[in-house]
Amino acid sequence: MIKAVIFDMDGTIADSEKIAQKVTREFFKKRGIVLTREEEKIMFGLNWKDLVKEILNSRGHEYKQSIKNTLKERYVRTMRKEVKALPGVYELLEEISKNLKIGLATNSRHREVDIIFDKLGFHEYFHLKLARDHVKKGKPDPEIYLKAAEIFKVKPSECVVFEDSIIGLKAAKLAGMKTVAIVNTYTREELEPEADLIIECYKDINLDKIIALGGEETK
């Protein structure tokens, strides 16, 4: 029986992945590094430190904290102005919140969580918010999802996770949870191996379909 729904943040409830992608692409292009489309897709779901390390190391450059900090601040400034919620997410959160526990589990830091939640008004829907600061290992390690289940006092098998990235889906699967993938940063075909259900938008999902993932029907 499904008792909790856990959402990723960037690219899943907030359309911030595209902002991060644009800012990162422009930031490194000015430094003579042109990212390929495949590189950009692989980096979805990574935290900023790992993302910058991947880019610099792939070009034979040494990682520098100052570069990461500058890029992240540029992203935060842009995100404050431009971030929007994914269409239909408020309606789904409203429906779920009346029946199930709702949690957040993101590779972003709590600072970014607060900025996005303040701007988009998500606070009222979530009973739990876990960020990268709250765990030792980020996704694709399952730690953050297992911690959410522990705090909610539910079994991992009683949780449904919403994700948009392959890294996030792998983390949820390793935690033993059901997964719903939303097509945003990856294609349906790319998401398919790690997803129990794939949706194009939030109009494709409702409480009954979420509960059905646990093998039960609503009364």
What single letter denotes the amino acid at residue 76? Answer: V
107 and 60 in contact (C-beta within 8 Å)?
no
Would you mind telling me the total number of residues written for the chain in this entry?
A: 219
Beta bridge partners of 199: 182
Cα–Cα distance for residue pair 167/141, rounded to 1 Å: 9
CB 28 within 8 A of CB 35: yes
Catalytic residue selected from 8, 141, 204, 208: 8
36 HSE (CA, 13 A, CB side)? 6
Q: Which residue has the tokens 């996005």?
A: 116
* Residue owning tokens 């690219």: 11
10 catalytic? Reply is: yes
Provide the 3-class DSSP secondary structure of residue 143: helix
| 8 annotated active-site | yes
- H/E element, 24: helix 17-29
Neighbours of 207 (CB within 10 A): 16
CA angle at 166 for the pair 13 and 31, rounded to the nearest 5°: 85
**Where do runs of H (alpha helix) occur along 48-187?**
48-58, 65-82, 89-97, 110-120, 143-152, 166-174
- As annotated, the active-site residues are 8, 10
